[in-house]
């Protein structure tokens, strides 16, 4: 099958000429005459390479490149910027935006073909490496996130992990991802949870499977945790992106389910890792302003390239108050279906913390356990559908 190349240029003569040159070399050509159309075609056609003009009236090539790089579908698609500009600063701007290579108009057909061949060859190697890396992955990765703190992300991560572990007799790891904001360690009776921080301070290529396994804390229930530090001064470790990549890769090779407790917001670490999740649980509450902020979070996740089909919305009403919106009001305001609603159970979770245990373990027939059963069933259903796809 011929490799597909998308050409984005507002100059129709250039579109025809360059398209003809590349068609003669055996490539399939798709054309767009502005930036917005280019983004749409890139999403629909999934080209092997994008040839992009910089000077366009609606959206310049730099901005198109930035948006392409923000989407998981085109984050690694090679981009050759084809332009009349030849100044060094213009090229630097292109490379900083995410361009892979640069050609100045006019160019000889042989030069164009040479650049295209080289980019496609490099892309092929990168794709193969990504496939090999994917082959190392074992776990079904579930990310849990909310728009701000105090919505119960860690409680949901821990109890969901416990239900999957007990109900399916599956190996499960729950990882708190934000150093400086750790809460589970103290709740579960672990002290001085500095193993994760130690990994984040290591050189990325020095992080191996044995180190990651040794950093895990196993609770008396059998559930395993990678616990975040409580030290606020370790918050800057969240910028250790290569270390996070190495750690998550090693973690994903261990259990059947890996639950990443992302906490609140979208720091750079979360923006990077949430794209690797097979399933994203978004936690909110029935408060009008929280719902409005959660709607913005969902839009941000979509802009990052997270597939909407991966979302499960969870309504976690942690306190009893007449300010809570009804389920139908929440869904209408949010514009999304709520998969599971958790009714307030503050006494249960307070008791679990006091006993250094997990809520659903304490009351086997509680309504809360039934609600976590429903959430676990959704996760397992998604896992099965992915395996069958």
Instruction: Output 130 or 146, whichever has higher pLDDT.
Output: 146
| Confidence (pLDDT) at 135 | 44
Token look-up 């949430």 returns: 274
Q: Last residue of a domain, which of 84, 113, 133?
A: 133
Of 133, 158, 193, the position where a domain reaches its end is: 133
Both 81 and 179 in a single domain?
Answer: no
Which residues make beta-bridge pairs with 218?
A: 224
What is the distance between the alpha carbons of residues 284 and 267, in angstroms, rounded to a whole number? Answer: 18
Question: Tokens representing 360?
Answer: 């659903």
* pTM given for the model: 0.66
* Whether residue 255 is found in the same domain as residue 279: yes
8 Å CB contact between 241 and 271:
no
- How large is the greatest C-alpha to C-alpha distance in the chain, in angstroms? 74
Residue 297 pLDDT > 80: yes
Q: How far is CA 301 from the centre of its chain?
A: 8
pLDDT in tens, 30-58: 999 999 999 999 989 999 999 999 889 88
Do both 125 and 189 map to the same domain? no
DSSP state of 364: T
Using CA atoms, how far residue 233 sits from 111, 178, 201, 237, 244, in Å, is 52, 12, 13, 9, 18
Both 229 and 367 in one domain: the answer is yes
Query: What pLDDT is attached to residue 39?
Result: 94
CA–CA distance, 69 with 203 (Å, rounded to integer): 26
Q: pLDDT value at position 77?
A: 92
Domain boundary pick from 107, 133, 159: 133
| Residue pLDDT, tens place only, 239-283 | 999 999 999 999 999 999 999 999 999 999 999 999 999 999 999
Residue found under tokens 């103290």: 186
With helix as H, strand as E and coil as C, how does 1-12 read? CCCEEEEECCCH
Q: How much is the average pLDDT of 156-169?
A: 92
Model confidence over 186-210: pLDDT tens digits? 889 887 788 999 999 999 989 999 9
Q: CB within 8 A of 128, min separation 6: which ones?
A: none
Mean pLDDT for the chain overall:
89
Domain that holds residue 352: 137-388
190 and 95 both lie in a single domain = no
**Residue 321 pLDDT more than 80?**
no
29: pLDDT strictly greater than 90: yes
Split into its structural domains, the chain has a count of: 2
Same domain, 203 and 119: no
User: Which tens digit of pLDDT belongs to each residue from 206-234?
Assistant: 999 999 999 999 998 889 999 999 999 99
Q: Which residues contact 247 (CB under 8 A, 6 or more apart)?
A: 196, 199, 200, 207, 212, 226
Q: Which token pair is 88?
A: 């060094």
User: How far apart are alpha carbons 298 and 282 in whole angstroms?
Assistant: 8
What is the rounded distance in angstroms from the CA atom of residue 213 to the CA atom of residue 156?
23
Give the model's pLDDT for residue 89.
66
Contacts of 50 (CB under 8 A, 6+ apart): 5, 6, 8, 38, 42, 68, 74, 77, 78, 79, 80
Q: What average pLDDT does range 377-387 have in this prediction? A: 93
Q: How far apart are CA 78 and CA 51, in angstroms?
A: 9
Beta carbons within 8 Å of 53's beta carbon, 6+ residues apart: 8, 9, 10, 11, 14, 61, 81, 82, 83
pLDDT at 131 over 50: no
Are 182 and 98 found together in one domain? Answer: no
For the chain, the residue count is 389
Same domain, 303 and 166: yes
204 plus 323 within the same structural domain: yes
Residues 168 and 141 both lie in one domain: yes
- Whether residues 152 and 73 fall in one domain: no
Both 116 and 192 in a single domain? no
Residue with the two structure tokens 């060859």 = 121
Q: Taking residues 345-370, what's their average pLDDT? A: 79
CATH number, domain at 155? 3.40.50.300
* Cα 163 from Cα 363, distance rounded (Å): 12
The alpha carbon dihedral of 359, 378, 270, 203 has a sign of positive
Lowest mean pLDDT among 23-27, 77-81, 86-90, 374-378: 86-90
- The CATH code of the domain that includes 88 is 3.40.50.2300
């Amino acid at each position: 099958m011929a490799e597909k190349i998308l050409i984005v240029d507002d100059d129709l003569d250039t579109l025809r000429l360059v398209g003809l040159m590349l068609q003669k070399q055996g490539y399939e050509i798709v054309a767009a005459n502005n930036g917005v159309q280019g983004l749409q075609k890139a999403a629909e056609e999934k080209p092997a390479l994008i040839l992009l003009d910089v000077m366009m009236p609606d959206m310049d090539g730099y901005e198109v490149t930035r948006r392409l790089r923000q989407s998981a579908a085109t984050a690694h698609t090679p981009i050759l910027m084809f332009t009349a500009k030849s100044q060094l600063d213009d090229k630097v701007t292109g490379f900083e935006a995410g361009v892979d290579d640069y050609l100045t108009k006019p160019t000889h057909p042989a030069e164009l073909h040479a650049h295209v061949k080289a980019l496609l060859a490099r892309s092929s190697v990168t794709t193969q490496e990504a496939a090999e890396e994917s082959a190392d992955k074992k776990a079904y990765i579930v990310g849990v996130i909310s728009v701000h703190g105090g919505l119960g992300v860690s409680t949901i991560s821990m109890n969901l992990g416990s239900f999957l572990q007990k109900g399916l007799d599956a190996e499960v790891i729950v990882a708190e991802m934000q150093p400086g904001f750790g809460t589970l360690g103290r709740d579960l009776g672990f002290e001085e949870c500095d193993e994760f921080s130690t990994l984040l301070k290591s050189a990325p290529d020095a992080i191996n499977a044995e180190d990651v396994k040794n950093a895990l804390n196993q609770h008396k229930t059998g559930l395993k945790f990678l616990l975040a530090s409580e030290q606020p001064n370790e918050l800057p470790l969240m910028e250790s992106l290569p270390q996070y990549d190495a750690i998550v890769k090693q973690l994903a090779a261990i259990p059947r389910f890996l639950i990443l407790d992302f906490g609140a917001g979208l720091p750079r670490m979360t923006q990077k890792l949430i794209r690797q999740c097979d399933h994203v649980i978004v936690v909110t509450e029935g408060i009008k302003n929280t719902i409005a902020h959660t709607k913005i979070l969902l839009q941000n996740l979509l802009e990052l390239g997270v597939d909407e089909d991966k979302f499960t919305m969870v309504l976690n009403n942690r306190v009893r108050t007449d300010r809570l919106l009804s389920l139908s009001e929440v869904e209408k305001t949010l514009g999304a279906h709520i998969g599971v609603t958790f009714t307030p159970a503050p006494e249960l979770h307070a008791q679990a913390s006091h006993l250094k245990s997990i809520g659903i373990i304490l009351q086997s027939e509680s309504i809360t356990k039934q609600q976590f059963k429903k959430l676990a069933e959704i996760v397992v259903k998604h896992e099965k559908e992915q395996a069958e796809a």
